[in-house]
Amino acid sequence: MQSQTRIVLPLRDEKKHRPGWEASQGGLSTTFPEISRVIHTVSTVPSGDGEARAVACPVHTAPMTTRAALADWLDRYEQAWRNNDADQIRELFAPDAVYRWHPWESAGDGADGVEEIVQAWLTEPDDPDDWSIECEPLAADGELGVARCLTRYRATVRGPARVYHNLWLVYLDDAGRCFDFTEYYMKEPTEETA
């Protein structure tokens, strides 16, 4: 019988795991044949039951996000926001995605799951004529993409003109959908607030 090495990865978020992986004590586990990408070296040692076990394994099994894939996602994000279209929003996010508007929020504080994200976006939608956005993908590492965005709102009856400088952490899955989004933003001072 061929032995299969099991790998256990710690979880960032206990609710999230990839297909082919199963929740186990201490994280996620899988066997080598189910790993789509393994980056770094995996060391194995025999265990008491005769099967090899992975130890001290800096393993990365996530898709490799590229700046081009992130740029595509950012373009689709802008279109979904501009169109206030529920289906376009759903196409951006994995079913169990987490969306945080503030970096200090944990799962449960932002929107959990694509339907909560859709609801949050469409509860008080921004008029597409009231804003503009420019985004630049800065970096991609593993499943993480980092983007810098500049969002400008024109003055309306809802509020004065304002400008936000944003950094977005966007974790993308194999299908190019975001499963974890965190927004860092700063409002540019105006003459009244400077």
What average pLDDT does range 139-164 have in this prediction? 95
Beta strands in the chain (DSSP E): 6-9, 22-24, 27-31, 43-46, 52-55, 93-100, 111-112, 131-141, 144-153, 162-172, 178-187
What average pLDDT does range 165-180 have in this prediction? 96
Whether residues 78 and 143 fall in one domain: yes
Predicted confidence (pLDDT) at residue 191 exceeds the cutoff of 90: no
What average pLDDT does range 169-178 have in this prediction? 95
Predicted confidence (pLDDT) at residue 28 exceeds the cutoff of 80: no
Predicted confidence (pLDDT) at residue 109 exceeds the cutoff of 70: yes
Whether residues 93 and 172 fall in one domain: yes
Supply the range of the domain harboring residue 42: 6-55
Whether residues 138 and 172 fall in one domain: yes
Predicted confidence (pLDDT) at residue 121 exceeds the cutoff of 60: yes
What average pLDDT does range 147-166 have in this prediction? 95
